[in-house]
Amino acid sequence: MRTILLTHGLAALLAFNSCTAQAPTTAGIKNVSTLTLRVDGDCPMCEKTIEAAAFRKGEAHADWDVDAKTAVITIDSTRTTVDAVLRRIAEAGYDNERYLAPDKAYAGLPGCCQYERGMKHEPVKGDVHHDHANAHHAEAQPSVFDKEGYRGTPQRDEPVEQQPMDPVREKSALEALFAHYFELKDALVAGNGDAAKQVAATMGEVLHRMDPTKLTAAQQATWEQLITEAMPLLHPLSETTDLATQRKLFAQLTAPILQLAETTGEGTIYLAHCPMYEGGADWLTRDKAIKNPFYGSMMLTCGSVTRTITK
């Protein structure tokens, strides 16, 4: 509560300062009222989105500063309110002092705009009530989803298939790992953070349980690379449902999996490249048609196949 009071106090102070400083620059808006507030974002693209979301002709206008992470908001106080403007900015995906963006709006931002959500408070975990609630769900769900005629959400509700951990079939464990990679990619294409989280957890489990002594030398090299390079990515991937974080990790996962593809892959797979994401990122696909896992439905067909791997 104290932090809230503090930020509000700060906002009021800033408002006082900026009223005198900013007033002359707001042509077209009458009954001017100006306020400077914190609005989070990352890049010049954010600036465009934030300012466009705020803008209403003759009514509201925002000037966002990428370095200070603040917006000077100018309104006609007889026609609108600062809250209305901040709400629009948040609906466009940008957290600010008074409103936090809907998670879906944030997840829909381009990769470069996915700023650190410093203003969002961490959900409490391990709370007694909360656990009770989850237990509650677990009980309630079967009655709902088992029922004839009702079809739930396939990605989310069907358990991820667990591969048997038979030590004599370590090679198939590598194959399973490989198959799960595509599931993970598909989950990210679909923008389904829950499914991606589950698949990543399964991959970590498969890798963890593998016995390297049962592998050939070439496979062992691959396994080592996976343990050192993929495992540190899979762990955080399985800890979050936040798509932006998942996609960043997934971009790094492609290199070790490519190694795996070269030792275990079957049939033809393709290496695809997205020039936009984080300065360029790769992914593997079994299907030549581009379905970009880094941006989901926003830029589904962005990217091109750069290599064909046949085995």
Residues that bind other proteins (CB under 8 A): 1, 3-4, 87, 90-91, 97-105, 119-124, 127-130, 132-133, 136-137, 140-141, 143-144, 147-156, 190, 192, 194, 297
Beta pairing partners, 61: 74
Strand pairing class (281-285; 304-310):
unpaired
Of residues 85 and 207, the one with the C-beta less far from other proteins: 85
DSSP secondary structure of 262-307: HHH--SEEEEEEESSGGG-EEEEESSSS---TTTGGGGTT--EEEE
**Please, which residue, 57 or 151, has the CB nearer to other proteins?**
151
What whole-number distance in Å separates Cα of residue 295 and Cα of residue 185?
11
The nearest distance, CB 193 to other proteins, in angstroms, is 10
The distance of closest approach from Cβ of residue 221 to other proteins in the complex, given in angstroms and rounded to an integer, is: 39
Contact 295, 111 (CB under 8 A): yes
Question: Measured between alpha carbons, how far is residue 8 from residues 11, 35, 122 in Å?
Answer: 5, 12, 20
Nearest to 207 by CA among 223, 188, 194: 223
* Nearest distance from C-beta of residue 262 to other proteins, angstroms: 32
Closest distance of CB 67 from other proteins, Å: 22
Residue 143 or 310 having the CB closest to other proteins:
143
Which of 288, 311 has the CB closer to other proteins? 288
Q: Decide whether 123 or 159 has the Cβ nearer to other proteins.
A: 123
Helix axes 193-209, 170-189, angle to 10 degrees: 170
Q: How far is the CB of 123 from other proteins (least distance, A)?
A: 4
Q: Which is nearer to other proteins, 104 or 307 (CB)?
A: 104
Tell me how far, at minimum, the Cβ of 244 lies from other proteins, in Å. 16
- Quickly list DSSP for 14-62: HHHHHHHHHGGG-TT-SSEEEEEEEB---SHHHHHHHHHHH-BTTTEEE
Backbone φ and ψ for 210, nearest 5 degrees, come out as: -70, 145
CB closer to other proteins, 23 vs 144: 144
Q: Are 280 and 240 in contact (CB under 8 A)?
A: no
In the complex, least distance from residue 261 CB atom to other proteins, rounded to whole angstroms:
27
